[in-house]
Amino acid sequence: MQQQHRPPELVGGSLPVFVFPNELVFYADDQSSHKQVLTLYNPYEFALKFKVLCTAPNKYTVVDATGAVKPQCCVDIVIRHRDVRACHYGVYDKFRLQVSEQSQRKALGRKEVTATLRPSASQDPPSPRPQDEERRIADSEFFEQTAFQTESRPVAGGPSLLTVLLGLVCMAALMLPTLGEQESTVPVYLHLSVNKKLVAAYVLGLLTMVILRT
């Protein structure tokens, strides 16, 4: 008997969203900090869909800005800062993680995470944000993932069909009898000279190097 799906328990009309950490700090002088990881937890008994939005999508690269989390599991979302410049020091941006049930489009809950770029980790912590900065962040517009710079994964390319065919021709040429061989059932016009076989071997070596580099 299939277990009946229970509706999610909303708190204040919204589903609580569990994300760690709640702040991302990038340091300009530390390249390892340019890559940060957000972990989204799903403690519920049903799967969740998630979507990552951002107030400044051109400054960041996100791997898998949309996806799903299985019940009582978690997923890591990789975020990279791709515009490390002094003009962005101290500027606060925001990421918003929206979650919903897999069978629904309406967002059940959301969680916002701040992100900032600092010159160095060795400097003193920044002073509290002024009220106008807090207001600017609160009024910021979040962009859909279609405007997001999703990190592309390189696709390994194989050798071209012409390269493969040329390699097969060279191998066939090397297998043919050499000109002057008497005991052979292959017609004489298919016998190749030593020079032609050397050319075929040279071309085959070059093709092998090309294939190994692709």
Percent of the chain with pLDDT over 90: 37
- According to CATH, the topology of domain 18-118 is Immunoglobulin-like (2.60.40)
**Residues 141, 112, 61: CA angle, nearest 5 degrees:** 70
pLDDT reported for residue 159: 67
pLDDT reported for residue 214: 56
Q: How far apart are the first and last CA of the chain?
A: 53
pTM for this model (two decimals): 0.58
Pairing of strands 48-54, 109-118: unpaired
Identify the segments of the chain with pLDDT beneath 50: 1-2, 145-156
pLDDT reported for residue 131: 55
Q: Which two tokens stand for residue 153?
A: 């994964």
What are the residue boundaries of the structural domains of the chain, listed by start?
18-118, 161-173+195-213
pLDDT reported for residue 7: 53
